[in-house]
Chains A and B, each alone.
Chain A
Amino acid sequence: GENVEQHPSTLSVQEGDSAVIKCTYSDSASNYFPWYKQELGKGPQLIIDIRSNVGEKKDQRIAVTLNKTAKHFSLHITETQPEDSAVYFCAAHAGGTSYGKLTFGQGTILTVHP
């Protein structure tokens, strides 16, 4: 089955700095890679996603890059703000008969200091 590794487990930055979180996956058949933000006591919120036919996608301060050859994808947050502090999860979807099933990374606790 799919295995997703996420690094770092914790990340501390100053407000205004950039933050980068990286994930690797094992199944070359995976074709969809979402990123979720989870605040304490709440469900995960989809913040950005990318499909295997695209190398990069950007939405305001958030961007995701995908390297299919190396089987890794990254989340980039620019101009970080204290409200960006949360746990971020990457995930991978294998497609095919794995209808909707996501495999999650271990999560990254992001802390943005004012």
Chain B
Amino acid sequence: GAVVSQHPSRVICKSGTSVKIECRSLDFQATTMFWYRQFPKQSLMLMATSNEGSKATYEQGVEKDKFLINHASLTLSTLTVTSAHPEDSSFYICSAPSGGSTDTQYFGPGTRLTVL
């Protein structure tokens, strides 16, 4: 299957700081990527759709000014958690469709964010 990477895999930061998470498609191009959030022992919750060269589309209830998304190239999308607070601590996962299909999603390994 297609390979999606994320960096960093784990980050710990102080409350009030901003954290940037990168999502890269390594062996394919992705005009669209997706960002999910997963709390312990829960399912994946879609946060936003990242669109290359245009604004991201956010799901209802997700603050776009807090979770900044930039999709500057066909292989890179970034999620910046601004002014992070302890309640933002979570597992953030990105995905991208590949293989010529608009629906087959491949996920990155995830980023564990801990806000102190």
Q: Please give the residue numbers on chain A whose beta carbons come within 8 Å of chain B beta carbons, in ascending order.
A: 32, 34, 36, 41-46, 49, 89, 93, 95, 99-102, 104-107
Contacts and interface: CB of A to CB of B under 8 A. Distances in A.
Contacts of B32: 99-100
Interface of B: 1, 4, 6, 32, 34, 42-44, 46, 49, 93, 97, 102-110, 112
User: Which of A32, A43, A104, A107 is the most central at the interface, judged by chain B CB atoms within 10 Å of its CB?
Assistant: A43
B43 A43 contact: no
A35 to B, nearest CB: 12
Contacts, number: 55
Nearest to A100: B97
B49 A41 contact: no
A104 B108 CA distance: 16
Given A99-B102, A100-B49, 19 more contacts: A32-B103, A41-B112, A42-B110, A43-B4, A43-B93, A43-B107, A43-B108, A44-B44, A44-B107, A46-B1, A49-B104, A99-B32, A99-B49, A100-B103, A102-B34, A102-B105, A104-B43, A105-B43, A107-B43
